[in-house]
Structure 1
Amino acid sequence: MSDNTNIKKKAVKGVAWSAIERFSVQGVQFIISIILARLLTPSDFGLVAIVLVFSTIFQAINESGFNTALVHKQDRDNLDFSTAFVTNLAIGVISYCILFFLAPLIAKFYENENLINVMRLCSLSLIINAFGLIPMAVFTIRVDFKTQARASFTAAVISGLAGIVSAYYIKNVYAIVIQYLAYNIVYVSLMWMFVKYSFNVRFSTERFKSLWNYAYKLILARLIYLIFDDIYSLAIGKLYTPAQLGFYNRANSFRQVSSKNIINIVQRVSVPLLCENQKDNLAMVRVHLKFMKATALMVFPIVTGLMVLSKPFITVLLGEKWLPTADLFLLVCPIEFFYLISTFNRNIYNATGKTDWALQSEIVKKMFFILIFLITLNSSLQVFLIGLIIISILEMLYDTYFAKKQIGVTLFEQLKSLLPVLLASAVMGLLVSFVYFITSNIYFQLIIGVIIGVVSYTFICYCFDISDFKANVTIFLKSKIR
Structure 2
Amino acid sequence: MKRRTVSALLWKFFERGGRAVIELVVQVVMARLLAPDDFGALAIMLVFVNVGNVIVQSGLNTALVQSSEADEGDFSTVFWMSLAVSAVLYAAVFLAAPAVAAFYHMGHLAWPLRALALVLVVNAYNAVQVAWVQRELEFRKVFTATVASVVASGAVGIAAAIAGAGLWALVAQQLSYQIVNCLVLAAQVPWRPHLVFRVSRACELFSFGWKLLASGLLDTGYRSLSDLVIGKQFSASQLGYVSQGNRYPQALGSVLDGAIQPVMLSAVSRVQDDLSYVRRLVRRALKTSCYLVMPCMTLFALCAEPLVRMLLGEQWLPCVFFMQVYCLTYALLPIHTTNLQALNAMGRSDLFLKLELVKKAYGVAFLLVTAFVLQDVYLMVGSYLVTGVISTFVNAYPSKRVVGYSYAEQLRDIAPGVALSAASAALAWPVSLFALPDAATIILQALVMGAAYLGLSRLLRVEALEYLLATAREIVAGRKHRAEG
> Do the structures match in fold with TM over 0.5?
yes
Distance 1:480 1:186 in 2: 33
Report the residue type matching 1:65 in the other structure.
G
| CA distances 1:103-162 after superposition (whole Å, capped 9, x unpaired) | 122112211112211110111000012122222111111111111101110111111111
- Structure 1 position 395, deviation (Å): 2.0
Shift, 1:205, TM fit: 0.7
- For the structure 1 residues 92 and 369, does the alpha-carbon distance in structure 2 shift closer, same or farther, using more than 3 Å as the test? same
User: 1:374 — aligned with what?
Assistant: 368
Q: Find the counterpart in structure 2 of residue 10 from structure 1.
A: 4
Q: Are the structure 2 counterparts of residues 435 and 290 from structure 1 closer, same or farther at C-alpha, using a change threshold of 3 Å? A: same
The alignment partner of 1:430 has SS state of: helix
Per the TM alignment, residue 344 of structure 1 is displaced from its structure 2 partner at its CA by 1.2
| Correspondence for 1:247 | 241
Summarize the alignment of residues 18-29 of structure 1 with structure 2, pairs less than 5 Å apart. Answer: 18-29=12-23
Secondary structure at 1:353 match in 2: coil
2:382 matches 1:386: yes
Q: Find the residue that maps to 1:170 and give its secondary structure.
A: coil
Matched, 1:159 2:153: yes
Percent identity of equivalent pairs: 26
The amino acid that maps onto 2:314 is: E
2:432 to 433, 436, 452: 436
| Aligned twin of 1:469 | 465
**Which of 268, 278, 285 matches 1:274?**
268
TM-score (norm 1): 0.95
1:224 corresponds in structure 2 to 218
Letter in 2 for 1:363: L
Unaligned residue ranges in structure 1 (runs of 5+):
1-5
2:107 aligned partner: 113
- Give 1:430's aligned amino acid: A
2:331 aligns to what SS in structure 1? helix
Q: Which amino acid aligns with 1:412?
A: A
CA contact (8 A) 1:39 1:171 kept: no
- CA deviation after TM superposition for structure 1 residue 455, in Å: 2.0
Q: Look up the equivalent residue of 1:150 and give its one-letter code.
A: T
- Aligned mates of 1:121, 1:397 — CA distance in 2: 41
In the alignment, structure 1 residue 452 sits paired with structure 2 residue 448: yes
Residue from 275, 294, 300 that aligns with 1:306: 300
**8 Å Cα contact 1:251-1:332 kept in structure 2:** yes
- The answer to whether 1:420 aligns with 2:422 is no
- Gapped regions of structure 2 (runs ≥ 5): 480-485
Matched residue of 1:434: which SS? Answer: helix
AA partner of residue 254 (structure 1): Y
Query: 1:66: Cα distance to partner?
Result: 1.0
1:215 is matched with which residue? Answer: 209
| TM-aligned CA deviation for residue 477 of structure 1 | 5.2
Deviation at 1:262, TM superposition (A): 1.8
Q: Distance in 1 between matches of 2:165 and 2:77?
A: 43
- The amino acid of 1:392's aligned partner reads G
Q: 1:326 maps to what in 2?
A: 320
SS at match of 2:163: helix
- Kept after mapping to 1: 8 A contact 2:272/2:346: yes
TM-score (norm. length: structure 2): 0.95
Residue 51 of structure 1 pairs with residue 18 of structure 2: no
Which residue in the other structure is 2:163 paired with? 169
Instruction: Supply the distance in 2 between the matched residues of 1:318 and 1:240 (Cα, whole angstroms).
Output: 22
1:418-452 CA deviation, whole Å, 9 max, x = no partner? 10111111111011101023334322211211221
* Conserved 8 A contact 1:57-1:227: yes
- CA spacing shift, 1:260–1:135, aligned 2, 3 Å: closer
RMSD: 1.6
Asked if structure 2 preserves the Cα contact closer than 8 Å seen for 1:260 and 1:336, the reply is no
**What is the distance in 2 between the residues matched to 1:298 and 1:113?**
44
Q: Residues 73-152 of structure 1 correspond to what in structure 2 (within 5 A)?
A: 73-152=67-146
Task: Confirm or deny: 8 A CA contact 1:12 1:476 kept in the other structure.
Answer: no
